Structure 1
Amino acid sequence: MAAAHGGKDCGPQDLLYEKKYCSLPTCPVDCEWVDWLDWSVCTVSCGEGQSSRTRMVKTEKLYGGKDCTGETEEKRDCENAECPVDCLYDEWTAWKQCSATCGT
């Protein structure tokens, strides 16, 4: 009620409200990944090898949040240039019969 007939005013309007904090459960926090790191160099310089990349958890799940899904590491095949092949001699063949009938 407003003051009347010389009565005292109630004061600022914000005193007309009372605050009470509710006791609510904490909101769930879902797990989050950081972005994938770059692919590693191939395990071999020629031929077929493997390359990999990794990621880590950015935010752990809390208060019943969802788990992170997927792996922390991915691998893929990589193929570089064909490997060099060195020249190799075959085994010696058996001696043939001498073509001369006399001399050295």
Structure 2
Amino acid sequence: MKYKIIFSENAKRDLISIVRYISDELLESNIVEKLLYRILKAIKFLDEFPNRHRLCDYQEWKDKGLRVLPIENYLVFYIPDESSQIVKIYRIIY
């Protein structure tokens, strides 16, 4: 059964910040779409393989099941919940 993927408000803001930074500050609007596609595509694969990536190194977060998905220079922090079949994306950071 596939997991449902949901984004926290922080993760949504992170994505918006990434897009704005690359297009406005770096003036690389041509790569924004490609990067956003790669990030969202990698996150989409979590619906079938949510436990594929490593647990967070910090014990407190590891105990809560926080996992880390690396995508190029970005890290996606998420927690899969087997009972509800939900993957919650908490942060996407550079």
Q: Same fold (TM over 0.5)?
A: no
As a proportion of its length, which structure holds more strand?
Answer: 2
As a proportion of its length, which structure holds more helix?
Answer: 2
For CA contacts below 8 A with separation 6 or more, give which structure has more relative contact order: 2
TM-score (structure 2 length as normaliser) = 0.21
Q: Which has the larger radius of gyration?
A: 1
TM-score (structure 1 length as normaliser) = 0.20
